[in-house]
C-alpha cells in the first residue's frame, strides 16, 4: 500500500511539473513569409531610370534652346568608357554620346567641383600624366595624348572634354558652354587635331589668346 501511495505521489508531481512547463514556455514565433521572401529591386530600377531621364532631359533642354546652333539631334548616356583618371577627383561627372543633324558624333565628358581650388588640383594632377606614355606635360606648351579632334575647357569649377572623329566647330561649342545655366567662367582652352600638337589658349571676352 505504501509503495502504491508513493507511485501516485510521483505521478502527480510529474504531471504538475509538465503542466507548469507548458504554461511557462514562450509561444512559438510565427515566421512571416514576407520577411524571408527576396525583395524586389523594382524601386531601385525605377529610381535609376528616373535619374537617367532627368539627366538626359536637362541636356536636351541645353541643346534644344542653344543659341550656338549646334544641331544636336540625339543624346544618350555613354556606358562604354572605363574609369577615367579624373573620376577620382569628382563624383559629379557626366558622360554622353551626342549626334548632330549631320550625323557627326561627339563624346562628351565633364567633371564639376565645389570650387576652383578643387578643380585646378584635379587639372594639375591630370597634367602630370596627360602626355605620351602618361608623361607629365607643361601648362601652355605640352602635347596632350590624343587621336581625334578634341576641345578641352578648363573652367573655374568644371573640366569639359569633347572628342570627335570629325573637325569641331570650336567657337560654337565655346559659345554654348558660356550659355549654360550652370556656366563656369573659362580659364584655358585646349584644341587638338589628329597628328598635330595641342594648341593652348586663354579665353577672355569671347576671344582665344594663344598662351
pLDDT digits 0-9 by tens, 85-130 = 999 999 899 999 999 999 999 999 999 999 999 999 999 999 999 9
pTM: predicted TM-score of the whole model, two decimal places: 0.71
- Domain assignment present for residue 26? The answer is no
- Domain assignment present for residue 88? The answer is yes
How many distinct structural domains can be found in the chain? 1
pLDDT score of 63 more than 70? no
Work out whether the CA dihedral 184, 167, 97, 76 comes out positive or negative.
Answer: positive
Say which residue the cell 598635330 belongs to.
Answer: 196
- Domain assignment present for residue 203? The answer is yes
Task: Give residue 155's domain range.
Answer: 42-210
Please tell me the distance from the alpha carbon of residue 55 to that of residue 207, in angstroms, as a whole number.
Answer: 30
Please tell me the distance from the alpha carbon of residue 22 to that of residue 102, in angstroms, as a whole number.
Answer: 83
* Beta carbons within 8 Å of 9's beta carbon, 6+ residues apart: none
- Domain assignment present for residue 123? The answer is yes
- Domain assignment present for residue 24? The answer is no
- Domain assignment present for residue 59? The answer is yes
Amino acid at each position: 500500500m505504501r509503495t502504491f501511495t508513493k507511485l501516485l505521489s510521483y505521478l502527480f508531481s510529474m504531471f504538475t511539473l509538465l503542466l507548469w512547463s507548458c504554461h511557462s514556455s514562450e509561444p512559438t514565433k510565427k515566421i512571416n513569409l514576407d520577411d524571408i521572401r527576396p525583395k524586389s529591386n523594382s524601386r531601385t530600377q525605377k529610381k535609376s531610370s528616373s535619374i537617367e531621364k532627368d539627366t538626359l532631359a536637362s541636356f536636351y533642354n541645353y541643346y534644344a534652346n542653344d543659341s550656338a546652333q549646334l544641331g544636336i539631334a540625339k543624346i544618350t548616356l555613354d556606358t562604354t568608357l572605363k574609369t577615367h583618371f579624373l573620376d577620382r577627383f569628382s563624383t559629379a561627372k557626366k558622360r554622353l554620346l551626342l549626334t548632330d543633324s549631320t550625323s557627326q558624333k561627339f563624346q562628351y565628358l565633364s567633371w564639376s567641383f565645389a570650387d576652383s581650388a578643387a578643380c585646378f588640383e584635379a587639372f594639375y594632377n591630370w597634367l602630370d600624366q596627360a602626355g605620351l606614355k602618361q608623361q607629365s606635360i607643361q601648362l601652355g606648351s605640352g602635347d596632350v595624348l590624343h587621336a581625334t579632334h578634341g576641345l578641352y575647357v578648363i573652367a573655374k569649377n568644371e573640366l569639359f572634354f569633347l572628342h570627335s572623329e570629325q573637325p569641331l566647330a570650336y567657337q560654337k561649342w565655346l559659345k554654348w558652354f558660356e550659355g549654360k545655366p550652370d556656366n563656369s567662367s573659362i580659364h584655358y582652352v585646349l584644341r587638338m587635331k589628329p597628328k598635330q600638337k595641342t594648341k593652348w589658349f586663354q579665353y577672355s571676352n569671347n576671344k582665344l589668346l594663344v598662351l
